[in-house]
Structure 1
Amino acid sequence: MTKPPGKPSQPLLGDVDTPLRSKPRRRRDPAQPQFSLDPMPARIDPCLALLKPRPPKGPQWAFEVKWDGYRLAVHIEPSGVRILTRGGHDWTHRFPAIAAEAAQLGAATAILDGEAVVLDDQGRSDFGKLQQSLGGRGGNLNSGASVLMAFDLLYFDGHDLAKTELSTRRHLLESLIAPGRESAIRLSEDVDADGEQLLRVACEHGLEGIIAKDRNSPYRSGRLGDWVKIKCIQSDGFLIIGYEKSTASFGGIGRLLLAARKGGELIYVGGVGTGFNERSAADLRKQMDKLTIGKPAVDTGRKRNAVFVEPMLVAEIEYRAWTHDGKLRHASYKGLRDKADEASVYELE
């Protein structure tokens, strides 16, 4: 026996013959603020740290560890993630782990400022290992071992933060990347300590140095003094102008010949004969063989058995001091800077 049909259900809004209409919209109160979205910049030139011999003093200064790697801007966009070098080159494919992690952060839009590094067993950044993971200067390897030490947030969920003070930008960054996070994107934590004390501890642990940042400063591109770097060991970029040959050394390189800038000219600052291994020396020799020239670009004095090259390659050199006649003391080769990194060449005063 079939069940008789039930009573028709009540219509959602009264009479079925009455057309459905939404409630009339109220007029917007002119006093109510409007929250417009800022256009997302395609690229922001980085804020650079000014080298100082000692840490600044005052409550407005925040301190961080100085990382030794490649400066990157990570753009999180609705269309995906882009990773740009300091020179504006797209290196998203070179840092796949960082790109994948950025896509999982939960931000609709953001621009992270940070340093891509490879860490050693003690958690210190190792520029040489980073270079190896990327295949050397001009290499095309993907660095799966790299992590991004993020230290600033320049754009977040539709809002340009560049004119906002650092303390607010850091607060928002820490809401996105939790302190102590162990992943391909980590927070470069600020350290609540006296600058002199922190520098001493950093040097004792073999770190490159520290960074001091004005908590009240906006984000300004260039080297304007809002950020200051203080180094334990001097490390700067110098142009390679040639090398002295040696049959007993890796790659046949006995000693690199180096130059710094002074105004519009180059000045010879001595050489470096340590810091190479078989792989780095072979890569370096391959790069230099493409640039050989008959006469030196800079006066180096009399050099026996020397090969001169166009001053196109920037080497990162670690050194302890300068001699009285303007040459590097206790220098050691750390690696070649890539063109995309736009590393600066040391400027003599």
Structure 2
Amino acid sequence: MARGTSKKTPQVPPSDLMPARIEPCVAMLVDKPPEGPDWAFEVKWDGYRLAVHVAPGRVRIITRGGYDWTSRFPSIAAESQQLGHATMILDGEAVVLDDKGRSDFGLLQRALGRKPSMHDPSEIFFFAFDLLYLDGRDLRRLPLLERRRLLEPIVAGRDGVVRLSEEVEADGEEFFRIACEHGLEGIVAKHRGRPYHSGRRPDWLKIKCARRDSFVIVGYEPSTVPGAVGRLLLAARKGEGLVYVGGCGTGWTYQESMKLRELLDEICTDQPAVALRRKGAVFTRPVLVAEAEYRAWTQDGKLRHPSFKGLREIADDPGVFDLSTRWPRK
């Protein structure tokens, strides 16, 4: 070895610590798909947003709100350990498919429920659409194009419960039209060149075939049928408070209505969360959220023809409609 020189130690890239939780990237709602080759399109799944954390000997399944729901998705947890990598974080959606292959949030809730259902947890699929961490490397700083390139060999072509959410090579407007014709909830557009950012960002956009949002349940009107709910009383956020936006009286079966009544009777209150006087109404603490599909808003700020689509806890649904930041479309 020549004088004055020394053997260099090979530089090994440091490992990125695996995050305990990653706040998910949330798509912004827009009226129409974006244009241009920088955008990739996918089906908008109607289910529970989950992050699947795989580590040696352990899998954790974390909800959008940060809850550990591993025990509720045993099939997804078991299969995720067989994907060929020691550590990774998959971002995706848990869904149950109807007889036409469309995701259905109501079917998913029944499969996760305690009562007998035509669907059991083994029929819940996880459609992975992003890869955030892999074998000691945090991938969030990479553009979506690169993250998808790493994701696809792991989950593409699988016929188990863990599957790939396919990108669709199509014009956005045409894909949206076809999605609506086939009864899908809508589509998602994602910018191929952007890194992964937590929170609601314009890097991801969602375009819905029908208007569908989350509203806080602040009470109910009893049904003429004993033990059932006639109408849910719904509210949207506004500043630090809530504003009544109307009642919803359709979208459930008789059995579901009875179950709703049981849940709501457990959280009754004498102090309404909104300024509302309605004879016969039963008011509840604002801890549950209803997903509702509706046609439009009325001139006085009420939902037009809302239909109940599912129930969530408010702590796990930060996306409650906010009148302070979103102007209702008539």
Whole-Å separation in 2 of the counterparts to 1:107 and 1:295: 52
Instruction: Note if contact 2:216-2:314 (Cα within 8 Å) is conserved in structure 1.
Output: no
Deviation of 1:67 after TM superposition, in Å, equals 0.4
Specify which of 100, 111, 122 is matched with residue 78 of structure 2.
Answer: 100
TM-score, with structure 2 as normaliser:
0.91
Deviation of 1:294 after TM superposition, in Å, equals 2.3
Deviation of 1:245 after TM superposition, in Å, equals 1.5
Deviation of 1:33 after TM superposition, in Å, equals 4.3
Instruction: Note if contact 2:131-2:150 (Cα within 8 Å) is conserved in structure 1.
Output: yes
Q: Does 1:238 align with 2:204?
A: no
Q: Output the amino acid matched with 2:231.
A: R
Which ranges in structure 2 are unaligned for 5 or more consecutive residues? 1-5
Match of 2:254?
Answer: 278
Q: Does 1:312 align with 2:290?
A: no
Whole-Å separation in 2 of the counterparts to 1:304 and 1:252: 17
Q: In percent, how many aligned pairs have the same letter?
A: 59
Deviation of 1:339 after TM superposition, in Å, equals 5.2
When the two chains are superposed, the root-mean-square deviation of aligned CA atoms in Å is 1.9
Deviation of 1:167 after TM superposition, in Å, equals 0.2
Whole-Å separation in 2 of the counterparts to 1:41 and 1:223: 20
Deviation of 1:143 after TM superposition, in Å, equals 2.3
Residue by residue over 1:205-230, the C-alpha shift from the partner in whole angstroms, topping out at 9 and shown as x without a partner, is 00000000010110000002110101
Q: Output the amino acid matched with 2:185.
A: E
Match of 2:164?
Answer: 187
1:326-341 → structure 2 map (5 Å cutoff): 326-338=301-313, 341=316
Q: Which has the larger radius of gyration?
A: 1
Specify which of 13, 17, 37 is matched with residue 35 of structure 1.
Answer: 13
| Partner secondary structure for residue 76 of structure 1 | strand
Match of 2:194?
Answer: 217
| Partner secondary structure for residue 237 of structure 1 | strand
Q: Output the amino acid matched with 1:208.
A: E
Residue by residue over 1:47-79, the C-alpha shift from the partner in whole angstroms, topping out at 9 and shown as x without a partner, is 000111111112111110000111111011013
Match of 1:72?
Answer: 50
Q: Output the amino acid matched with 1:239.
A: V
Whole-Å separation in 1 of the counterparts to 2:241 and 2:213: 18
Match of 2:245?
Answer: 269
1:1-349 → structure 2 map (5 Å cutoff): 29=8, 32-135=10-113, 143-178=121-156, 180-248=157-225, 251-300=227-276, 302-338=277-313, 341-348=316-323, 349=327
Q: Output the amino acid matched with 2:133.
A: Y
Equivalenced residues, count = 316
| Partner secondary structure for residue 26 of structure 2 | coil
Q: Which moved more, 1:334-343 or 1:302-311?
A: 334-343
Instruction: Note if contact 1:70-1:117 (Cα within 8 Å) is conserved in structure 2.
Output: yes
| Partner secondary structure for residue 49 of structure 1 | strand
Match of 2:3?
Answer: none
TM-score, with structure 1 as normaliser:
0.86
